[in-house]
Structure 1
Amino acid sequence: MAPTVSDSARPGYGQLLRTPGAWTFLLPGFAARQPFAMLTISIVLLVQHTTGSYGQAGAVAAATGVSMALFAPQSGKLADRFGQRAVLLPGVLVHAASVSALTALALADAPLWALFAAAVPAGASVPQIGPMVRARWAARLDGSPLMPTAAAFESVTDEFTFVVGPVLATALCTGVHPAAGLIAEAALTLVGGLLFAAQKRTQPPVVRAAAGDGSTPRASALSIPGVRVLVIAFLGIGSVFGGMQVSITAFTEEIGDPGVNGVLYGIFAAGNMLAGIACGAIAWKKGPLHRVVLGYVGLTLAASTLWAVESVVLLAALGLLVGLCIAPALIGGYTLVESLVPAGARTEAFTWLTGAVALGQALAVTAAGQLADTRGASAGFVVPLVGTALALITLVALRSRLTPSTGPTGPTGAAATGRIAARGASGVDHRSRVTVD
């Protein structure tokens, strides 16, 4: 049963973290998602070291991102159907093996096609820990005003990993060995993933539609128009992550101070983390859709100045500003999923969004890498601007699809199906859910 919050109380992190059973999946979930923030930058640093080309390094990293974007939603759909544990156990084993193979091939100066052959399964098997944790929150907080706080908390957790991950990967690759980042990523994925999979009591139950309710129990979350709009929008967020990673790396190489790369990217991610903390602590008067649009407006404006940067201090300041603008867009999008998507398809919906970020990141890594090779680091910073501007245009044009349709008794369509299924599974009617802006 979801925790209750009095009308006068502001939903906060303290209340959220007192949710029964939360810590049993939060701690192993944090350990298991840390490697995701290390994967792309570790590939870029290793392959650039062995080939001397940011373009080739970006292309190999992009292969992992594209394959993750394609396979992550299927992983989420399987988790909704068979349970998270059934998907995680084989996934972490395949991922660790694939990353190990990619590392060995890169060190052996294998041809580019061989690196691609290892990169594809490495990306396809990335454990979808973040979406799985969000699905666990959604299952435990269904109908609770703590759900937006949970979305903010998860964004903060994600961004904390993106503060620590790139810095750790860069330190390992530059201070220990160029392959140390990927080796650590594979080891953390294996250990953290297995520990998370062991938490069977908190995984969402498999939701099946009641007989005769007229619903389609296995319809894809992508069939919901709002999810499709969010997927396109999240490509823009991915373009920021990918473009910033490669362009900051190229920038620090150009100025002869590669060691500051992890610090600069950590500042960028810290901005996102700080904004995420604020988003969860504020009692918003505006709904998540409003915050999503405003977040993309700010993100586009902030990204428009990156290409002209020539100093480390200015890049750090602008990177912090860009990071601050990401959190409202990211958190608002994840919060919208809870009202748009039925309970039995939320893991899949969250993985579509995560996959969109990965695909946007992959495309941005490739484009920024090519631009950095041919025109210099400053040209690579154009990629986040283009990606966020296109996402903003899409959001503004199709924002009506992000508003759940309502009938006399509450949500209809996909959302109503989810409420019926959840009520049938738990014996509790969640139709009288509360929305806190």
Structure 2
Amino acid sequence: MTDPHHRAGATGTVGPVELLRRPHVARLLSSALVGRLPTGMVPLALVLFTRESGSDFARAGLLTAAYSLGACLGGPVLSRVMDVRGQRGALVLGGVVSSVALATVPFAPGVAGLLVALVAGLMTPPLEPALRTLWPSVLPAREVPAAFAVDAAAQELVFVLGPLVVLLAQAFGDGGGLLAAAAIGVAGTGWFTASSVSRDWAPVPQERHWLGPLRSVRLCVLYGAVLLVGLTIGVPAVALVAYAESVSAPGWASWLVAANALGALAGGLAYSGRAPHRDPLRDLPLGLLTLVVTYAALAWTPAQPAVMAVLAVLSGVGLPLTLTCVFQVVDRLAPAGTTTEAFAWLISAFLAGSSVGALAAGALSDGGAIGAAFLVAAGSALAALVVAVPLLRGVGRVGAAGGASVRGASGPLGD
């Protein structure tokens, strides 16, 4: 493995292009994105398959909920296995089983279909936490924040390209989107695990507590804040579509959702060069405040879709800044030997919050209160800010005290 420390003394800003030229970085990021593409494909693929096969939206909702529930529960379990035994076995097993399950969904009626969708979610390979665990292995410590920022921005491609691939795959039949997700998922997972970095990564020898990273009270508080952020981000996928219909411009729906993702992509790329020189404990409140302001602005719901598109772009900008800082704080707070699982619980908290946000947005939008849905999103981001600020002050005090290392501390952070 290339030793990154010979570059650790370099100075200056590390931009996205320069970062991608580092050994292994482009390969790891690209393969992880391909392997994670089903995350952006499966929800739409399940809805389209269900409707085109003659079932109702209730069935589609149940299948999607089963898949999402499985992903929330299975990610931390597989990640704990990786923290103990390494990445390759757990990722390959998860990739194969999840893909087989996805390919089986179109042929599994009734309750069997729900169980198969649940298995597909449970065994989804946790490539996202696996990737974030590897960054310190291939980059000097000062460049890891930039990698987190590029990662946070690039994941927006999953939710932009995923639905497009599903629409193309549906041309081959009702279950085309699910079959495409199965094939892409296993291919991306194989590509990622074939890299020497993932294959050779060794877990930290450590006596492990049965709670894993959840033994850290501060980490659990951070997960609570992330759940609230997820609720914020779960709103626009529903509320923006409802807005487009309310102004008699349904054709704008996909463009508005894409505008939100575009703003996040731009925000992440812009922040990646600055991240190594910034303090995440100070920037995280800034990111959350940005979400509060920009989502409150969406509540205006202007009559002109073009104006709403501009607001949608702005509402995406704060997410990568927030997530980049959260990734760094999780990396500091995770007890030694639990980093992968710590990132997996982060994803589960975000997914759970996003599901609640989508449900709230749907209920409010059905009642014509689209602006209220965006206010709920802004209020949730504000609540996340209230939860996070005391936590960050505590982390800062521990770091300033010069006691136990923030990362893996068995003292105050483990309480």
TM-score category, normalised to shorter length = 0.7 to 0.9
Task: Name the amino acid aligned to 2:148.
Answer: A
The structure richer in helix per residue is 2
Q: Distance in 2 between matches of 1:172 and 1:85?
A: 29
- Of 33-42 and 292-301, deviating more is 33-42
Cα drift, residue 14 of structure 1: 4.8
Q: Distance in 2 between matches of 1:163 and 1:11?
A: 26
Cα drift, residue 295 of structure 1: 0.9
Cα drift, residue 236 of structure 1: 2.6
Q: Distance in 2 between matches of 1:30 and 1:132?
A: 12
1:196 to 185, 192, 197: 192
- Of 386-395 and 297-306, deviating more is 386-395
Q: Distance in 2 between matches of 1:99 and 1:360?
A: 24
Q: Distance in 2 between matches of 1:317 and 1:201?
A: 40
Aligned residues with identical type, % of pairs: 26
CA contact (8 A) 1:29 1:133 kept: yes
Task: Name the amino acid aligned to 2:143.
Answer: L
2:72 to 69, 84, 105: 69
1:120 aligns with 2:128: no
1:159 aligns with 2:156: yes
Alignment-derived partner of residue 382 in structure 2: 389
> What are the within-5 Å matches in structure 2 for residues 403-418 of structure 1?
403=396, 405-406=398-399, 411-412=404-405, 414-415=407-408
> What are the within-5 Å matches in structure 2 for residues 11-410 of structure 1?
11-47=14-50, 50-53=54-57, 57-105=60-108, 116-141=114-139, 144-170=141-167, 179-203=175-199, 204-209=201-206, 216=208, 220-252=212-244, 258-282=250-274, 286-309=278-301, 310-342=303-335, 344-375=337-368, 380-403=373-396, 405-406=398-399
CA contact (8 A) 2:16 2:272 kept: yes
CA contact (8 A) 1:138 1:338 kept: no
Task: For residues 119-177 of structure 1, give each alpha carbon's deviation from its aligned partner in whole angstroms, at most 9, with x where no partner exists.
Answer: 32222222211211111112333x6211111111211221232232234435655x776
Cα drift, residue 409 of structure 1: 6.2
Determine helix, strand or coil for the equivalent of 1:344. Answer: coil
Q: Distance in 2 between matches of 1:156 and 1:325?
A: 11
Alignment-derived partner of residue 426 in structure 1: none
Alignment-derived partner of residue 421 in structure 1: none
Q: Distance in 2 between matches of 1:327 and 1:280?
A: 9
- Structure 2 unmatched runs, 5+: 411-415
Q: Distance in 1 between matches of 2:365 and 2:11?
A: 53
Task: Name the amino acid aligned to 2:350.
Answer: V
Q: Distance in 2 between matches of 1:45 and 1:249?
A: 16
- Of 344-353 and 40-49, deviating more is 40-49
Q: Distance in 1 between matches of 2:176 and 2:403?
A: 53
Report the count of equivalent residues.
405
Determine helix, strand or coil for the equivalent of 2:9. Answer: coil
Cα drift, residue 252 of structure 1: 4.3
CA contact (8 A) 1:12 1:146 kept: no
Distance 1:74 1:183, change over 3 A: same
Distance 1:326 1:35, change over 3 A: same
Q: Distance in 2 between matches of 1:366 and 1:62?
A: 11
Q: Distance in 1 between matches of 2:19 and 2:293?
A: 33
- Structure 1 unmatched runs, 5+: 210-214, 418-437
Determine helix, strand or coil for the equivalent of 1:202. Answer: helix
Q: Distance in 1 between matches of 2:334 and 2:233?
A: 26
Task: Name the amino acid aligned to 2:265.
Answer: M
Structure possessing the higher relative contact order (Cα contacts under 8 Å, 6 or more residues apart):
1
Q: Distance in 1 between matches of 2:190 and 2:348?
A: 22
Task: Name the amino acid aligned to 1:262.
Answer: S
Distance 1:236 1:40, change over 3 A: farther
Cα drift, residue 370 of structure 1: 3.7
Q: Distance in 1 between matches of 2:141 and 2:408?
A: 15
Alignment-derived partner of residue 429 in structure 1: none
TM-score by length of 1: 0.81
Alignment-derived partner of residue 420 in structure 1: none
Q: Distance in 1 between matches of 2:276 and 2:235?
A: 31
Q: Distance in 2 between matches of 1:148 and 1:400?
A: 20
Distance 1:182 1:252, change over 3 A: farther
Cα drift, residue 243 of structure 1: 1.9
CA contact (8 A) 2:331 2:407 kept: no
